[in-house]
Amino acid sequence: MLPKIPLVHQQSHSRSSKNNSFSSLDESSGGSSPNAEDETAVEPEQGNVLTHIISQLRPGADLGRVTLPTFILEPRSMLERITNFMAHPETLLPMPEIDDPVQRFVSVVRFYLSGWHIKPPGVKKPLNPILGETFTCYWDYEDGTRSYYISEQTSHHPPKSSYFFMAPEHHIRIDGTLKPRSKFLGNSAASMMEGIAILSFLNRGEPGKGERYIVTQPNMYARGILWGKMKYELGDHSVIRCPENNLSADIEFKTKGYFSGTYNAIGGMIKDDRTGEILYELSGLWNGEMFIKRVASGQKELLFNATNAKHTPPLVRPLEEQEPHESQRLWNSTVQALIARNHDLATEEKTKIEEMQRLEASKRLEDGVEWRPKLFRTVRGGPQGPGEGEEDLEWILNAKINPYNPTVAEQQILSVAAILPGQKPHCQFEIPAHSSSRSHKSEKASSSGQLAKMTAETHPTQQNNISNLIDFDEGSNNGQSDENKILKSAGPSVGSMDILGGDGQDDTHAQASPSSNYHPPNMANIMTPLQPTSSPAQTRSLHSRNSAASDNDDFVDAQS
């Protein structure tokens, strides 16, 4: 028998507010019928995607600049869309406490499959995050605990969305980077998903690293973009692998054939990698009932039912507390126009943001400054490196978080970025600009002369050549540091998921929380502002990352 997982619902308690406000996309009505086709609901005056593309074609036009119409855009950024996979706490929170390693692995498969049904109706793709865009949020659980999410767009060409999630009191941490490659396939558009996520149970496995589950994503397809009805499909294989327990799962998201098959079907297996024995088989619909069968006994059980599953959207700070490059504030005018179905205005507002991004890039080029992320750093992989085996993440949160003490970990997370209502960012960095042609001596003098300059401005961070991270000294009993250290990497250092569609269930915007909900702890000694810095480029890479993609939503392959 599979372990029974208790339900965990979002309810008001001592750590949550009863007066949360909701966006216009909140209060989803639940899942739709798994047999209902995920087709777009397009206003008659909008025509189809083909008409929109033809209107942009001119002699000698750059096909890389052909944009998707705004009527197929989801009114939120990809950085926020990623939180779908943390939105079922009833599958997420119990996992680390399951003692049997095989059943613990099964629970991870259940958790992974529980998030795919959460989408807006029809074929929709989220807004492409701009370089340096950030999004933070949190969840309050009925047991009085809380989890946190921090994300940043760490690359634009090619697009990469990096994120961090942690539920400290439940010993759960997730690090990930999503990297899509867009392709135009005749009457279909596809997002070929690259990148990985690493789910860690910190109460198990190697001390400080935990028991790891390395996860990949299926590819996404929008069918009928030029003629016929538009339809969203997940396709191809995804893999879950636990190196500590030598277990893996191969999950196939099946696309419908021309004359046979069904939409939204999955199949797969869970295998013992040491012996090659297939332990379980998976079947069902990713937006309906999913089943697991024990091969040895033939016993079949319900794994997860997404048909009427109610997910728990995250909570966010009010817009007026957010910085200009935070997702909900950055895209607010575009989102409001999309919700109002004012597509001309939505296109105009979206274009303003894309033009701002181009101007920022031009200014960096003019000043000879290389952009680096604010909240994430490159993974220090390679043999015996702290990130060995995690090189494909490429980027990881730029801070050491205590894996043993939940109270200390919570304070450290809140020191990295503003997450809770009423919380102010503890530091923002403006490193003096330096030309790439400046001498090493000049760079060293500039670096030692100013550790970090506090600023309220939000333009991109500029960095030198040493890779640092925020390191919290945890020697004191209360978990607060008397001083903070800068750790220098001696070795070389080493996303965005283009989900296109929906199953009829309104995808829920993160909920805004009132500023009165947060009382900042005294963290004066937890963190001193540090100077973010870069490190030599990592030579190991799963795939080539060169890209000539445009700043817009393209049909062309991002690597063409």
Higher pLDDT, 230 or 46: 230
The residue among 400, 495, 485 whose CA lies nearest residue 451 is 485
The mean per-residue pLDDT over the stretch 203-230 comes to: 88
Q: What integer pLDDT is reported at residue 68 of this predicted model?
A: 66
The mean per-residue pLDDT over the stretch 134-140 comes to: 98
The residue among 508, 476, 48 whose CA lies nearest residue 309 is 508
Q: Which of 51-55, 78-82, 217-221, 400-404 has the lowest mean pLDDT?
A: 51-55
Q: What integer pLDDT is reported at residue 208 of this predicted model?
A: 78
Higher pLDDT, 267 or 36: 267
Mind listing the pLDDT tens digit for each residue in 154-211?
A: 998 889 999 999 999 999 999 999 998 888 787 888 888 899 999 999 999 988 789 9
The mean per-residue pLDDT over the stretch 63-85 comes to: 80
Q: How far apart are the C-alpha atoms of 526 and 426, rounded to whole Å? A: 10
At which residue do the structure tokens 């919290």 appear? 472
Q: What integer pLDDT is reported at residue 430 of this predicted model?
A: 42
Going by C-beta distance under 8 Å and a sequence separation of 6 or more, which residues neighbour residue 487? 400, 468, 469, 471
Q: Which of 102-111, 194-203, 215-224, 445-454 has the lowest mean pLDDT?
A: 445-454
pLDDT band at 368 (very low <50, low <70, confident <90, very high): very high
Which phi and psi (to 5°) does residue 67 adopt? -105, 155
Q: What mean pLDDT, rounded, does the chain reach?
A: 74
Whether 367 shows a pLDDT value over 70: the answer reads yes
CA atoms within 13 A on the CB side of 502: 25
CB 219 within 8 A of CB 236: yes
CB-based burial label for 560 (10 Å; 0-12, 13-18, 19+): middle
pTM above 0.85, yes or no: no
Q: What integer pLDDT is reported at residue 182 of this predicted model?
A: 82
End-to-end CA distance of the chain: 49
Q: What integer pLDDT is reported at residue 426 of this predicted model?
A: 59
pLDDT band at 558 (very low <50, low <70, confident <90, very high): very low
Mind listing the pLDDT tens digit for each residue in 488-527?
A: 333 333 333 332 333 444 445 566 665 445 454 444 443 3
The mean per-residue pLDDT over the stretch 53-82 comes to: 72
Q: How far apart are the C-alpha atoms of 73 and 232, rounded to whole Å? A: 13
Q: What integer pLDDT is reported at residue 188 of this predicted model?
A: 83
CB 467 within 8 A of CB 377: yes
Q: Which of 129-133, 404-408, 449-453 has the lowest mean pLDDT?
A: 449-453
Q: What integer pLDDT is reported at residue 550 of this predicted model?
A: 38
**Neighbouring-strand partners of residue 232:** 222
Q: Which of 83-87, 115-119, 270-274, 378-382 has the lowest mean pLDDT?
A: 378-382
The sign of the CA dihedral 535, 150, 232, 248 is positive
The mean per-residue pLDDT over the stretch 390-407 comes to: 93
What is the Cα 39 distance to its own chain's centre?
25
Helix, strand, coil percentages (3-state) for the chain, rounded to 5, are: 20, 25, 55
- Reading the block at residue 255, the tokens are 């696309």
Q: Which of 295-299, 354-358, 444-448 has the lowest mean pLDDT?
A: 444-448
Strand, helix or coil at 248?
strand
CB 402 within 8 A of CB 409: yes
At which residue do the structure tokens 């001596």 appear? 441
Higher pLDDT, 10 or 262: 262
CB 381 within 8 A of CB 538: yes
Q: What integer pLDDT is reported at residue 289 of this predicted model?
A: 97
The mean per-residue pLDDT over the stretch 317-346 comes to: 95
Whether 378 shows a pLDDT value over 60: the answer reads yes
Whether 251 shows a pLDDT value over 90: the answer reads yes
Amino acid occupying residue 153:
Q
Which phi and psi (to 5°) does residue 271 adopt? -130, 145
**Neighbouring-strand partners of residue 281:** 269, 293
Q: What integer pLDDT is reported at residue 222 of this predicted model?
A: 86
Q: What integer pLDDT is reported at residue 291 of this predicted model?
A: 98
The mean per-residue pLDDT over the stretch 458-478 comes to: 42
Going by C-beta distance under 8 Å and a sequence separation of 6 or more, which residues neighbour residue 369? 433, 434, 435, 436, 460, 462
Whether 541 shows a pLDDT value over 50: the answer reads no
